[in-house]
Amino acid sequence: MDGMTRKDRVVVAMSGGVDSSVTAALLLEQGYEVIGMTMQIWPREGDAAWEEGHRTCCSLSAVDDARRVADKLGIPFYVTNLRAVFQERIIDYFTAEYARGRTPNPCVACNHYIKFDALLDRALALDAHYLATGHYARVEYDPERGRYLIRKGRDGHKDQSYVLYGLTQKQLSHTLLPLGELTKEETRRLAQDLGLKVATKPDSQEICFVPNNDYRSFLRERIPGQIKPGPFLDTEGNVLGTHAGLPYYTIGQRRGLGLTAPEPLYVIDIDTERNAVIVGTRDKLYRQELVAEDVNFVAVPGLAEPLAVTAMIRYNAPEVRAEISPLPGDEVLVRFENPVRAPTPGQSVVFYQEDVVIGGGIIKETR
């Protein structure tokens, strides 16, 4: 298929927001043949109650916004149905991770399995060579390494390289990220100059498929049989109270525990075998090491010996110095120079050297 694609044709993943809209406009200005495409992933058509409380990139109103932008730019626009793969790869993964006592990051999974896999396949089927998104990050080919690299976006406050670490070399070879050189303010200014009504549209801060960002209700509807009350335990095994169900808690959580103690208590562990939430004081949250699984390397083909990096244990967390060492399979040991607060199983840890993404993986366990 690659030999049949047109190098100047690009499909832009349009969410109806300012970032993807300006992405399409910039590529059009640069001389690309641009096609707009919006993913239809959630909910089912006619789900009025969901639509009423929801206005994110998955909603029907977002599709309308994207279509209006495409019309103004004069580019073809398609809506592609990816509900089945989204259900399997994102919704089922999201609920299963919470049922396991882990805290997932659906945006990382969506980029890897939906946007840059299923949607990229649709782009290639249209004889396009590239898929473009409105992420604030940069993709470059490094001839010395013979590899595509992911670099941080120029806007340090908006950088989204963290959520892209799972992309493969093949996916990166078909990826354009034109906003990587811009700040968010510059993007909005461009949208205003172009007369796009989405110029002042606020950024979505929600999980795109969870109405009103109420993930507890979302889980209650989908895995009610896997949400069972159990004990709050301290680090010595004493019962302090009763929790409402493991999926409702995450490492580092303080609010909503309903416990009375001389010092503030935090969730420091989720014990699925005992259906217990382990709580302790703030100092108990810190960990020196973690094991990451499902590791994908970007800037290097793999890891043969320990490597000094900076690591980010959750999106927008500060980078900290660490050393990563290979373990059997697709796992690595991450040892931090100084203990870090509340690394959380299910979240991603991403490794950097300066502004280059070395790779990343899913936090499996902490020590």
Among all residues, which ones are annotated catalytic?
110, 208
Tell me the three state secondary structure of residue 329: coil
Q: Are 261 and 303 in contact (CB under 8 A)?
A: no
Q: In the 8-state DSSP scheme, what is residue 135? A: -
Q: How many CB atoms lie within 10 A of CB 297?
A: 20
Find, among 222, 211, 120, 213, the residue nearest to 173 by Cα: 120
d(CA 24, CA 316) in angstroms, rounded, equals 26
Give long-range contacts, CB 8 A cutoff, 24+ apart: 185-190: 187/18, 187/19, 187/22, 188/18, 190/22, 190/25, 190/26
- Tell whether the torsion through CA atoms of 213, 216, 217 and 218 is positive or negative: positive
Q: Are strands 175-176 and 128-132 parallel, antiparallel or unpaired?
A: parallel
Q: In the 8-state DSSP scheme, what is residue 349? A: E
d(CA 112, CA 108) in angstroms, rounded, equals 6
